[in-house]
Amino acid sequence: MATADKSSSSSDGRSRLSTHFDVPESSHPDRWAQLWNAGDFLPWDRGGPNPALKDLLNQKKGLIGESWVENENGSRRRKTALVPGCGRGYDVLLLAGHGYEAYGLEISDKAVQNCHEEKRTNGDQYMVDMHPDHVGTSTFLKGNFFAGEWTNAVPGGTFDLIYDYTVRFSRPCKCCFFCALSPGMRPAWSQRMLQLLTTLPTGLLICLEFPTYKDPLIGGPPFGLTPQTYLEHLSHPGKRLAYDDSGHVQVGNQGSPSTDSLVRLDHWQPERTHEIGKGTDWVSIWRHK
């Protein structure tokens, strides 16, 4: 059930964000970089990873598997993980603490500097097991999610795990990576996820779906969406989908799912999440069809 905070769409912070992003979609990456570089309005920092991700890593090994994969010759390699729009890098460090070769992507040099500072001052706090064989790695990259050059720093250029939910706004605002994007950018988001996710059997996309309570017509960021928004776009990567007059994606008339698409493996409401998402956040797990 939504709390009073969740209806505060007229808050100063949200209004300021809406005004800041009232420019063509092609300029949005630069607008995010401007906020980081100015440093005087960064309302998305929650001070740590989402509890839902912590619980997923600790309790859902049967669903997501271990943080390593065995090669054909019997040797092991660490799974790679990507956190796009990683903020100060909390989720990247948590994934590394669980043994992943984790990468965080941000849009500005200043944001990447903040990630390194968090790693330097608090990195040990994210370690689940301090044994050297069990600790993963964390790497922070500057780049545009939708452009390809930053993937040159990643062996193979794809990821075994991608986590979409990282730009978190302090009360009453927070924002996942998907909901930070205007609706017109959603086809490109789904296509890029398809490209970056390793194919079977290892590749998994984890989405923490937010804000499902918000009227899509209010605008953003964060932009209101529903679980069906994720389902339709990831079932039709790269396709521009029809929306109704209320701002919701149309269901049932988008055509059959694309042959090259992602399928949802599981979907649930987390017992723990940030306060503003309690009772309305959802977690979904996806893989290649």
Q: Are 69 and 202 in contact (CB under 8 A)?
A: yes
pLDDT at 2 over 60: no
Q: Provide the pLDDT for residue 208.
A: 94
CA 114 – CA 217 distance, rounded (Å):
33
Residue 238: pLDDT above 90?
Answer: yes
Q: Which amino acid is at 215?
A: D
d(CA 272, CA 284): 15
Handedness of CA 106, 219, 188, 47 (dihedral sign): positive
Among the listed ranges 45-54, 61-70, 257-266, which one has the minimum average pLDDT value?
A: 45-54
Task: Please name the residue that has the structure tokens 């521009």.
Answer: 240
Which of 78, 218, 75, 72 lies closest to 136, judged by CA? 78
Where residue 101 falls among pLDDT bands split at 50, 70, 90?
very high
Higher pLDDT residue, 257 or 204?
A: 204
Residue 132 has pLDDT above 70, yes or no: no
Indicate if the pLDDT at residue 191 is higher than 80.
yes
Q: Strand 101-106 vs strand 137-142: parallel, antiparallel, or unpaired? A: parallel
User: What is the number of other CB atoms lying within 10 angstroms of the CB of residue 1?
Assistant: 7
To the nearest 10 degrees (0 to 180), the angle between helices 12-20 and 28-38 is 130
Which of 55, 34, 49 shows the shortest CA–CA distance to 87?
49
pLDDT tens across 36-48, in order? 565 554 555 556 8
Nearest to 287 by CA among 188, 178, 162: 162
- Please give the C-alpha separations between residue 12 and each of 2, 29, 37, 270, in angstroms, as whole numbers: 20, 22, 20, 29
Given a cut of 90, whether residue 131 has pLDDT beyond it is no
Both structure tokens of 99? 């043994």
Mean pLDDT of 144-165: 92
For residue 228, what is the enclosing H or E element? helix 227-235
Give the residue-averaged pLDDT of 113-134.
86
31 pLDDT more than 70:
no
